[in-house]
Amino acid sequence: MSSTEIPQLAVFRLALDADTKARQLAVIEQAARAVPTRSPARRRRRWIAAVVVAGLLALPVAGVAAESAVPGDALYPVKRALEPIRSWLDPELAAKHRLDELAVLIERDSDDATIERAIDEASLAVAEADVPELDAELERLIDRVTVRTEPPAGSTDSVAPIDRQIEQEPAIEDSQDRTTDTSAERGDSPSVTEQPALDAPATDPPSTDDSVDADHQPPPTRAPVGDRPSTELDAPALDDPAQPRGDRPRD
């Protein structure tokens, strides 16, 4: 991989001119001279202790309230902030959360950009967790995103969207079963029609349904599942470098 692989990005390569450097350095050097040499006293420590105690008291309340938050919700930052702490007990928590959020966003029919970002986040978290079940769940969710894509204009008169096709399949089969097996199954027919998994192969519709034609399915507009990074981590893990204290800049 080299920097020439995406040449359009070269436009972001900057070199500061001498005047800008001199101006910024003057500000930095002035700040370095102004920093007190002695560390802050007890008053600051008391403030920190008070903030920590208040935070510890508020954590459980905020954590419960933020549990079901998804990207865009007011409490979502709280959920993300608490995740590293809760991950001590459940290392796969972040991946599970991202998958849950992705599922909710898909259910809500959120816009494409939001879902793409959610897929990105979920892919990273699942790759970090390195659990096959979570990876399979992510693939199922991405399949749901793919099949919900609307067909192109002009083709809707003869072809139903794939998700509708999937919903129609059990109804057709169910009705067939009822017509053919009524005498045998009377009184013992299933009270609940099982919904098929959304990742069931949409290209193999029942032949009795004239409205369903796999050859006319609209092409998915999202990247196929294969483009998503696999969670098979075969390279050695990188030890985290020593994290500087005060890592997160404060405004």
Partner 1 sequence: MSIGAGAPLEVTAPSRETPSTHPLDRWVDGVRRRSNSAFAALYEATADDLVSFAYGMLRERAAAEDAVQQAFLELVRAAGRFRGNGEALRVWLFKSVRYRCLDELKRAGRRRERPSHELPDQPVAAHHDPGLEPALERALDALSDKARTMIILRHVVGMSGEEIAAVVGLRRPTVYKALERAEARLRVALEEPA
DSSP 241: P
State the Cα–Cα distance between residues 89 and 111, nearest whole angstrom.
Answer: 33
Cβ closest to partner 1, residue 120 vs residue 150: 120
Its sign, for the CA torsion 116, 63, 66, 132, is positive
Cβ closest to partner 1, residue 8 vs residue 191: 8
Cβ closest to partner 1, residue 45 vs residue 178: 45
Give the shortest CB-46-to-partner 1 separation in angstroms. 19
Give the shortest CB-227-to-partner 1 separation in angstroms. 6
From residue 108, alpha-carbon distances to 78, 174, 200, 225 in Å are: 21, 28, 21, 21
Cβ closest to partner 1, residue 78 vs residue 212: 78
Give the shortest CB-72-to-partner 1 separation in angstroms. 10
Give the shortest CB-119-to-partner 1 separation in angstroms. 9
Give the shortest CB-70-to-partner 1 separation in angstroms. 15
State the Cα–Cα distance between residues 162 and 220, nearest whole angstrom.
Answer: 10
Q: How many CA atoms lie within 13 A of 198 on its CB side?
A: 19
Give the shortest CB-240-to-partner 1 separation in angstroms. 7
Q: Report the interface residues with partner 1, using CB under 8 A.
A: 1, 3, 5-6, 8-16, 20-21, 24-25, 27-29, 31-33, 35, 39, 111, 113-114, 116-117, 120-121, 123-124, 127-128, 223, 227-230, 233-238, 240-242, 244-251
DSSP 246: T
From residue 229, alpha-carbon distances to 12, 126, 127, 143, 238 in Å are: 26, 10, 8, 15, 18
State the Cα–Cα distance between residues 94 and 117, nearest whole angstrom.
Answer: 15
Cβ closest to partner 1, residue 115 vs residue 212: 115
Cβ closest to partner 1, residue 39 vs residue 203: 39
